Structure 1
């Protein structure tokens, strides 16, 4: 791996980690398009590029989540009871998501990624106020919601914040608590999804050297190293910003990344 590639991966990890701490999105929604660009430049087999980008991105979230959640916890922003209610469904869904992704070709997977991100951005940007009486659902509803978050996050290689943050704010959870709680949810999503990507990618023809299933280890190590350093910085900044500005930043970053992935697909 040349110096330029190392610098690019470190810069990408820094940006992804900062965004993960700031927005509670695990960094995956930002990392996947950039990793896709780098893997394309390295001439990895086209049919594997998006699968490997998603798997590698998801694996980095194990490290980013632990770094950012500590900073959010120190601000009292993590709703641990909500984490406990969503986690069982998330663990199941995050294993299933990569299996679904393996059945799709690269173009279809890019379309699914782009559409989900654009939908999530729109939900966050709309100025609708939730009903004052609306609350988080009871245990069965939270189990089902955790499963949905896990499946989609495992499918597109993200920490699930693009679903969990809009879901929690729709249920009248304060945006800063939604971001902190979403950061904590990133670890079970990433752990189960990473194990799934190793299992379903094991022995796949055409994988480059130093791959572990669909995960490209050199990229994982460099991105994780940079992301854990910047995630706490983003988390601290999140608690100093107005709610609406945080929502707008979240939405417009996601729109830009959705546009790239849809353009790549077509």
Structure 2
């Protein structure tokens, strides 16, 4: 496809404390994240070279990649995926602004993986058909606002205890809230990927992570969703949200990551290298 961004692998040595994490400031979440802070720049010419320069360079590459996918039609073929990629890009910008370099480095790994998958999907779809803007832009904006809200509700910290598939009570409330929204928007589906922390062997972590994904699916169906609207996957201990072995990092990495999928997108299922139900 035109405008392919060639990624340059940059090795960055990060010396910040492991386990630091960042969250959207009050009032900065939701669709407001579609606009990157005007005072954020990937260029810092007056400062000594350090790991943040490499990370900002990687952020700029990811932004160029996302921009090129949008120009190629991803905004119309996969609007749900694009709005979630924009959210992730803005989160990384805030992490870099706040000096949370380890968080930014891990989120960049996840973002590059998502953009590469989106590029493969877009290449396939655009070889078969042409994606056009919707007849009703206001209807699309409403759907994207709902997708943004669901993404924020479902992807929060403190979901599971150590070596357990049982859902923490607070996260159970998040699932109930999301289910109520999804019952009103039947064109939306969920892709639930289970994760485990770094303790335990590979097979155990794969099984544990899948158990967490299936447990989330179980409760969402109890709250009224059709099982066919929820797919479950497992990545075990691969692709942790944060690196490190502190209790806080381990707790955050025991999770499910959930993507919202619109059936009105020209969706194509792509393997992510994990186990699928």
TM-score higher than 0.5 here? Answer: no
Report the structure, 1 or 2, having the larger strand content.
Answer: 2
* Larger CA Rg, structure 1 vs 2: 2
Report the structure, 1 or 2, having the larger helix content.
Answer: 1
The TM-score normalised by the length of structure 2 is 0.25
Considering Cα pairs closer than 8 Å and 6+ residues apart, tell me whether 1 or 2 has the greater RCO. Answer: 1
